[in-house]
Amino acid sequence: MNRLIVLSGVPGSGKSYFAQLLKAQKKQHLYIISSDEIRKQILGDQRDLSEDVLVFKLYYSFTEAYSKDINGTVILDATHAKKEFRLDKIKPYRKLYNQIDLICFKLDKDVVLKQNKEREFPIPEDALNRLIKEYTLPDEEEYAFYDHIDIITNHEINKIINRYL
39-75 pLDDT per residue, tens: 999 999 888 889 999 999 999 999 999 999 999 999 9
Q: Look up the domain containing 106 and give its range.
A: 3-163
> Going by DSSP bridges, is the β-strand pair 99-105/73-77 parallel, antiparallel, or unpaired?
unpaired
Mean pLDDT of 3-22: 95
pTM of the model: 0.94
Helix (H) or strand (E) holding 161: helix 158-163
The Cα-based distances of 26 to 5, 48, 164 in angstroms read 14, 31, 8
Q: Write down the pLDDT at residue 120.
A: 84
76: CATH: 3.40.50.300
Total domain count for the chain?
A: 1
13-17, 25-29, 71-75, 82-86: which has the minimum mean pLDDT? 25-29
Q: Write down the pLDDT at residue 47.
A: 80
User: Who contacts 32 (Cβ-Cβ below 8 Å, separation ≥6)?
Assistant: 19, 20, 23, 75, 77
CA dist., res. 37 & res. 59, Å (int) = 10
